[in-house]
Amino acid sequence: LATLLVGLRNQPTTSLGHLLPEGTPTPLIPALILIETTSLLIRPLALGVRLTANLTAGHLLIQLISTATIALMPTIPIVSLLTLIILFLLTLLEVAVAIIQAYVFVLLLSLYLQENI
């Protein structure tokens, strides 16, 4: 909301120009302005939800495999060792996913801010 207001204050014609494409029929103007404004406000929220879901899914998978490793340790140590190796590889994958998610989050957020300001 703040970026939208700053964009409207500093460059009102450019900011309003993003809300309405050229050649829009007159009856569609109010609906398009409402849709585009809603889109501008929801984009950062959707980005945050996506980031949270991706990271939470990885953490849940790590929790499940670590619980299985601990549960299998007294009964079947060989399988427990195999799940421990899988857990280690999954942790490396999760670190890589976190780095990629951080990069995508910052890149998209900067593009959203650049568009509004």
Cα distance between residue 38 and residue 1, in whole Å = 10
Domain, as residue range, for 88: 45-116
CB 91 within 8 A of CB 58: no
Q: Given this model, what pLDDT does residue 84 score?
A: 92
* pLDDT digit string, tens, across residues 53-112: 888 998 899 999 999 999 999 999 999 999 999 999 999 999 998 899 889 888 988 887
Domain count along the chain: 1
In this structure, is residue 71 part of a structural domain? yes
Q: Given this model, what pLDDT does residue 108 score?
A: 84
In this structure, is residue 70 part of a structural domain? yes
- As given in the structure block, the two tokens for residue 105 are 């989050």
In this structure, is residue 28 part of a structural domain? no
In this structure, is residue 50 part of a structural domain? yes
* pLDDT digit string, tens, across residues 67-84: 999 999 999 999 999 999
In this structure, is residue 17 part of a structural domain? no
In this structure, is residue 14 part of a structural domain? no
In this structure, is residue 35 part of a structural domain? no
In this structure, is residue 11 part of a structural domain? no
CB 69 within 8 A of CB 87: yes
pTM: 0.67
